[in-house]
Amino acid sequence: MKFNRFNTVIFIGFLAIVGVIIMQLFLLNQAYIFEKKDMEDKIHFALQDVVEKIYRDNKSELPITNQIKKVSENYFIVNVNDVFENRILEQYLKLEFEKVKLELDFEYAIYDCSSDEMVYGNYISINGKSEKFCEDCFSKNSDLTYYFAVRFPHIEQTYFKSLSQYWIFTGVLFLVLIIYVYSVFLMLQQKRYTDLQKDFINNMTHEFKTPLASILIASNYANTQKEIVDNPRLSKYMQIIINQSNKLNQHIEKILYVAKTESKQIVLDKTKVDVKVLLELVKENIVLKHQKEIKIDIQLERDYIIQADEFHFYNVLYNIMDNAVKYSGLNPIIQIQSKENEKGLLLKFSDNGVGIPANDLPFVFDKFFRVAREDSKDIEGFGIGLSYVKRVCEWHKWKVFATNNEDKGITISIQINKNDYE
């Protein structure tokens, strides 16, 4: 896989996802351990207080040895080593569990040394609902004489309930991660489609240019033959073939420009370009192309020499002026002005066309965008001319923008940086 910027971002994002998941699972595990330890401490302290109360009632001295033994996650044995009553034990258990705010169902059993059996005590529910008790869950301990056992049947569920906020955070996090992964998947899919589109455009345009070049060569040669020259009808048809072939060639070139700009195959060859000379050249070509009266007024404050790629800069000027002629009716008037400001040189191209609706104005430089018009079918183009203009300006680090004139028509402005002209 080519290790480009896009793949690097995806790889870093993948590492970030793995890191976030590991960190979240670690925090969740730590919270579980802490909650479990806190619950066990509450049980231990409560049972220890129960033992102290029993010894105090019996007026016996409390032994120093640890009398509480954890057998399993929900099962505890308490060695009293002294006589006690069942009724008092249950009361003490309820009282001490309530003190430490241990809101858990529990059941207990007491060892009866006379029968050598564990005698089931009672099931205590915090919500008052009757639960199925488990007498067989209590087992004897041969090492002890006076002891009781306490079992918490739902302690595991309590751990998870107490971590509810962590589960919510984890769920939200995983939802965000799923959305991120899905978005990356869509981006990869879109990138694949874009690559296929670029390959198709490149192959299609190149395949078109080869036969088109042959058509132009043959047409130009045939147009000079005596049989064609002497026949006005054939000469007219041949001229139509040549003109339409040139138009098709221009459209193919534009599509190639767009394909190259998307794939970043363009390398600028900056040279010193005389703006006035280039504008005059574009003016001549525009007048020759369109079979109508065109007025192009070039008003520059002075002669400017710009550091730019002459080929692409010519295409920018040509596209702007060609668009102005297309959308300016029968008598196009194009006014080209220059103005120096604090940012550099501002070139303004104003026409007397129909203008652009305010809602469509922000999108005129988008690729394949064409303003909805009644006469749009009569105007040639694919909506890539101004998109190409914007691309070229971005390559040169210039700004380009469009505004509607106060009376009619629009003005395309190019802001050239100070260090790019003299």
Residues in Cβ contact with 279 at an 8 Å cutoff, skipping those fewer than 6 apart: 298, 300, 317, 336
How much is the average pLDDT of 67-81?
Answer: 85
pLDDT tens for each residue of 306-316: 999 888 888 88
Specify which of 38-42, 61-65, 165-169 reaches the highest per-range mean pLDDT.
38-42
pLDDT tens for each residue of 239-262: 888 877 777 777 777 666 666 665
3-class DSSP assignment, residue 174: helix
Alpha carbon distances (Å) from 134 to 118, 130, 131, 145: 12, 13, 10, 22
Q: Are 12 and 32 in contact (CB under 8 A)?
A: no
Q: What per-residue confidence (pLDDT) applies to 3?
A: 54
Phi, psi of 266 (to 5 degrees): -80, 130
Stretch among 64-73, 256-265, 347-356, 372-381 having the lowest mean pLDDT:
372-381
Q: What per-residue confidence (pLDDT) applies to 98?
A: 86
How much is the average pLDDT of 25-35?
Answer: 82
How much is the average pLDDT of 278-288?
Answer: 85
Tokens of 140: 């004897």
Q: What per-residue confidence (pLDDT) applies to 415?
A: 93
Stretch among 156-160, 376-380, 412-416 having the lowest mean pLDDT:
376-380
Q: What per-residue confidence (pLDDT) applies to 25?
A: 82
How much is the average pLDDT of 140-159?
Answer: 82
Between 201 and 125, where is the model more confident? 125
What's the pLDDT band for 379 if we cut at 50, 70, 90?
very low
- Give the homologous superfamily in CATH for domain 270-420: Histidine kinase-like ATPase, C-terminal domain (3.30.565.10)
Between 255 and 228, where is the model more confident? 228
3-class DSSP assignment, residue 76: strand
Q: Domain spans of the chain?
A: 5-162, 165-262, 270-420
What's the pLDDT band for 370 if we cut at 50, 70, 90?
low
